[in-house]
Each structure stands twice: as C-alpha cells, then as structure tokens.
Structure 1
Amino acid sequence: MGAILAIPVGVTLNYIYSKTITKFSQQAVPDLPKDKNSGIKRLYLVSIQLVWFSAGLLTLIGFIDILARFVNPEMPKLLLLAIYLTAIFLIIRMPTERVMYLLEIVLFLNTPLILFIIIKAYTNPSINWDSILEIGTHLFKWPNLKAFAAATYCFSGYANLIVFNRVIKGKLKGWNFFVIAILGLINMFTTFFIPIGYHGSDGTQEYLYPWVTTADSLRLVYSPIERVIFLFLMFYMSISLMSVAIHWHVALELIKGSFKKEVSKKQEWLILGVFTGISVIGLIYFNTILLLKFATYWLIVRLASEVMLVGVFFLWARRKKS
C-alpha cells in the first residue's frame, strides 16, 4: 500500500514543482536576485544542500561496498573511493548544461541494457509468480512510512530542477507527467517484485543487496558473457556515478549560491576537499548494516525536505505573480 500511495503523491509533487519552477524561466535558486530576504534564502540553501550532499554520499558509499564485495574484494575501499572521487570531481565542476548532456549520453547507452535485463528477468522460467502474487495479499494493510518514503524516491528527480532549471527551455506538457507516472510505476514494481519472484518474500529480506543476487541468478547461455551480474554491475556503475555527480553538482551550486560574492577556484577546491574528508570519514565509519539503517531514516527526512521544497517554491511563485 505504501508503494501504491507513492505513485499519486510522487506525480503530484512532480507536477506542482515543475509547473511552479517554470515561473522562474531558466533560473536556478542560486541565480535568483538577492533581495531583502537574502538571509532567509541563504538559510534555505544551507539546509537543503545537506540533503543533496548526503544523497550522493550514501549512493557513493553503498556502491563502493558493492564493488568491494562482488567485484574486487582485495582492493582497499579507500583506493576505490579515490578513483570514484576523481571522476566525480571532474564532472561536478563542469557547467550545468554539460552535466545534463553527459547524463543524457549515459542514459542513452544504458537504457537498452536495462530493458534487456528487465525483459530477461520477467521471461526467465525460474521466476516464481506465486511468490509475487502472495505479496498482493498484503495490499490492504496499513502503509509503512519507510516503504512509502523509499517508493516516492523513484519520482524525486524533479527536485534537481532547483539547479538544472537554468538550462531547461520550454514548459512540460500534460503527457510528460503521464510518462513519468508510467515509468515510475514500472521502475518501482520491477525493483520490488523481481527479487521476490526469484528468492521469495522471506528469502529476499535475508539479502543485503537483493538485486545484485537476483542479477547473479540470471544466465545468458549463448552469450560471450554468461553471468548477467557483470552486465548489471557495468550499467549500475555508470548510473551510480552519474547519480552521485548530479547530487553533488546541485549541492556544489547551492553552496556557491550561499555566498554573496562569486566563489573563486581556490574556494571551490576547498569545498571539494570538505566533500573528500566527509566521504573518507563516512566510508570508514559506516559498515553495511549501519549504512542501510541510516539510509532508511534518511529517506524519511528526504521526503519531508521535498515537501518543504515544493511548498517554498509554490509560495515564491505566488509572491512573484502578485
């Protein structure tokens, strides 16, 4: 029920925010004029930039843990972190328009691979549809807040318009939101049901990373690469890289917008040094179980911050119109 309720809520937040932010044509929040409420604006930027930075940090630490477990257990995690941070810092320092173009290229290259794995998972004779149907018996149970917060994250991409709106031209049509709803529905239920179909509802909860284990259950008999897990990790690596880069690009732009004067290159590298220090501390401090628990509660905080983000922009747009 939490996953089902997340669909109308996620699409509604998408619609309100996307329609509202078009009132600020090709302007990001850091680009808005510094009026008499600039102090409130800076406080607002500081509060939400922590959400974006932590989103990228959790994704980064989680993926490094996956690489250390399933790809190269002998490589030190700090070395993996250094390699990933090098690529991330090269991306987040680029102009917003180039970051968006890079995202489009990554999605264009990975979409056929993602569709292939999804189709392979649904058509595999090993999938147990009875296990999936058994989950349907819980349909009318009271929705779980943790599940609801996690499910709404499938629709959270709109929040990045807080910075990427500066390169968006034109307005979204009604059919765009219909496509968002359909893609979000497919993404969410595929992510949720496929591992249950292969491992059962009880077996799935025993795994730390159910989808990695599920991908390892698939085989390509006549392919040069027999184990699907290698294809899965390949596209997962590139998408995780872009996910962290987008979140941290937004966080960096919000931090730079918090200063009255333009940030110099030396100050920018100082900010990136802070990013690095926090990443190293997080990698050392968080083990897998603690990371998953922290991420669970972070999703709830993230949902509250998104509702606040949509509400603030709605009020700003009303104020601008008046």
Structure 2
Amino acid sequence: MHDSWRVDLLDRLDNTKCELPRLASGQLSWKSDQAVPGSGSITWTRDPGVDIDWLNDRLRVTHIGDDGETPMGVWLPSMPGWDVDGPVTRAPISLSDKVELLNWPIGAWLTLPKGTLVTAKVAEIVRARGGGATQSTDSTEALTKAMTWEPTATWLTVVNDLLTAITYLPLTADMAGRLVVAPYVAPDKRIPVATYGGADDELRLKPQWSDRSELFAMPTGVRLYVSRGGTTKGFIGSADLPDSHPLSAANRGGIPRLLTESSDATTRAKAAAAAQRRLDELMQLTRTITVKHPVDAVQVGDLITHGPLGINATVVDRNVTLGTGAVVEDSVQHTSTGGELPWPT
C-alpha cells in the first residue's frame, strides 16, 4: 500500500508558498467536546531554503494513499523555539485548527439587537477575524431578543452563542480549512457516510475494538424533592423504572439506586412529571466504541456504521499519527433510548 504525507506551507490567505520538506513526525486529533476541536503537532527539521512567517503562515496537511489524496485540514502553527543537536536544528510545531482564530476576547462590551440575522453576522465575524472561506448553510433566522457579551468573552463564544440560538452546531473547521456553519441534525436523522467492516463494499476495520458503557452508574429511579422552607415539610416527585426494564431495581438485586435532586415544582403532580422526564433523559444510554482503520475522509460529527456490531454511531474523537502505514483511531458513540442493554447478558 502506498502511504505518505505532504505538508504545504500557505500564506494567511491559504495560497500555497511551497511544500514543507524534512518532516520528522507528527500527529493530528479532533475532539467534539472542545471549543477548538482540532489540534496536533509536527516536528520539522530546519531547512535554510524555507522561510516561514510564524505569525501569519498556515500548514495544509494531505494524506496520499492508493485511492488518491485526502485533505487533513489547514492548521495554524505555533513554534516556541528551536532544538539544536549539532548540525541539526528541529522545531516542535504545535497546530490548531482555524477555529482558534476566534478564540480571543472581544475586549469590549458587545450587544447585538433583536432582529440580527444570525448566519450573516457569524460570516461577518469570521471574515473580520481572518477565517477566510466558510462552508455555510445560510439561514434567514434572526435573534428574537438582544444578546450581550462581556469584554472577557471570546469571539468564539459570541459565534457559538449565536449559532445555539438558532439550533446550529458550534463552529468547526472542515478538512479543506473552511469554517463550517451548519444546523444541528439529531444522530437518528443523519445518513451514515461510511461502513466499517470486513465485507467487500465496506471500509477496512482492524479486528480489535473496545466497547464500553457505564451501566453501573445508571439509576433505577429519580426523586425530586421540593422544600417549603422552615419547619414545613416539603414533598417529593418520584419515578422508577418498571420491573421489566433490564436496569430496574428488580433486576439489580432488588436494591434501588436513586438519583435525588431538588426541584421548584409547585405541585406533587408536576414534581412527579418532572421526575419522569429526568429519568427518561438518564436512560439515554451511551455506548462508546474505539475502532482503528486506515486513513479516510470521515470527520468528527459524521455518522458511521460499525458493520460487525450492526449499529450506527457518531464519531466524537479522531486521532491520526503521521507516518508510513498510518492508522486512525476513532471513538464513536451510539445512544440507546429503547431500554435494551448495549450487549447481551
């Protein structure tokens, strides 16, 4: 299998300056729960023929395999200094994806009025912060009330608050280096972009994977208590899993495991209804599977199918080591709400 990497040096407008030679090693990672999802590092052996503007230039990473070239992002480099070993000088370069351009405080009070067109304002902020091209699903939705941010808030907080207001995803960067503005789509409404497994029409998957789910921490019921203050006794709203549920107290030795929280419900009936809603939320059982496979174009947030397990799952973490025979390690999550256990008992 042909397998190699290329890193191109770009200017701040993403125009190619040259190919970056003499790479020693590197790694890339993406995490869906981080404000700036993409990060990484490369070690570069200094080449006197390459002049890098560390404050403005960018690096484009590309994987080259039997199926062609796969873009792996445009990155902002940070180089703290040089490591010298006799005639060899190396630079440890830290990488952040383009979302980092907005991860700086705004430095002044900011108020956006009711009626502000959200995706248009986001595009304006991204351009002003040097984000360049965007991949945007534009919307005519506007703010239904004014929003205000303190001077210590970051531009990224402003953008993500705006996107949340119209049920859009937080800002991300795609593999072409564009900042992505897109509506949120529930996992059960997404279409899988790839299937991993052993069949001829499936992407290759290493035969070892981990499959984890925190069953022990799941409660058998919820109690919401309402305090009336002083010596007046309050009341409690209760909800319990039915005995037929695999995680019920009846199926766990007859010992209840209760989540207890305070509530501001005004009646017993409302407290009981709130307890049931809370229990329903907690029964969304998350199954996390770690898989390894060759480099491909799947991204964090994509829905994939795990062929051997026969389930769809969302990619939440992705880690790639740059080098020959590179292997991607993904963490994917499947959420169950149907009351079934993630594996047979």
TM-score between the two structures when normalised by the length of structure 2: 0.20
Higher helix fraction: Structure 1 or Structure 2? 1
Higher strand fraction: Structure 1 or Structure 2? 2
TM-score between the two structures when normalised by the length of structure 1: 0.22
Larger radius of gyration: 2
